[in-house]
Amino acid sequence: MGLGGSTLVVCLALLARPVAAGAAVPVPARPPIVVPAAPPSVPSGRPLVCTADWVVTLDQPISRVSSFGQFTSGGETGVIDCRGDVGGHPVTGPGTYGESGAFGPDPAGGADCSTGSGAADFTATLPTAAGPRHVGGLVSFYWAGPAGVVFDGRFPGAFRLSPGEGDCVNQPARQLHFQAGGLLFVDGGS
């Protein structure tokens, strides 16, 4: 099931609220996550409006008990669908998307099924009228319940999160399914 228009509107509204460098971002039932004093460079250029859908495998399962670990999608195994132009060339259809990174590195301890945070490297390949365009960057994110926000990097936005290979209640989850919507900055930034 993809993200609807209302989810994308909420995502874009979240992007309109800037977070100052060094400001605390509240996470329910946990101490705040502190945004680094030197945030990533501000992306430049006209962003593409995109949705993405991918699954990551965790090296440590996540449950109702806090944990730390790493995750990977195993390359660009997900799908990204963007609207707009890249370097004056229109995006011609869905592309591929992947992430790898770490979860649970916040001051209160690890991440669990109800709240957590992490950081990732992402890569995407967008088909354009001039051929494929590769994009990559870093993102930081946190979640509370089934929703979360990416608050920096080249693909800021909002996401839905659901467990896979486990349900987080009766069995720890070994996979997480992400459905995201946001603005992808193809040129500039980190």
String of DSSP letters for 27-91:
ETTEEEEEPPSSPPPPP-SPPEEEEEEEEEEEEEEE-SS-B-EEEE-SSS-EEEEEESEETTEEB
pLDDT above 70: residue 99: yes
Q: What's the structural domain count of the chain? A: 1
The per-residue pLDDT for 167 is 87
**Measured distance CA(68)–CA(102) in Å, rounded:** 8
* pTM assigned to the model: 0.76
pLDDT at 58 over 80: yes
Span 66-79, mean pLDDT?
95
User: Does residue 174 lie within any of the structural domains?
Assistant: yes
Residue 122, in any domain of the structure:
yes
Q: Is residue 44 part of a domain?
A: no
The answer to whether the CB of 49 falls within 8 A of the CB of 8 is: yes
Find the CATH number of the domain harbouring 160.
Answer: 2.40.128
Residue 120 located in a structural domain: yes
For tokens 């979860």, the residue is 103
List Cα–Cα distances, 110 to 23, 78, 81, 106, 180, in angstroms: 21, 26, 32, 7, 23
Segments forming the whole domain that contains residue 137: 5-15+49-184
Which tens digits make up the pLDDT trace of 117-130? 999 999 999 999 99
| Count of C-beta atoms within a 10 Å radius of residue 69 | 15
35: in domain:
no
Q: Is residue 34 part of a domain?
A: no
Q: How much is the mean pLDDT over the chain?
A: 79
In a domain, 173, yes or no: yes
- Which residue did the predictor score with more confidence, 105 or 97? 97
Calculate what percentage of the chain has a pLDDT beyond 90. 50
Within a domain: 22: no
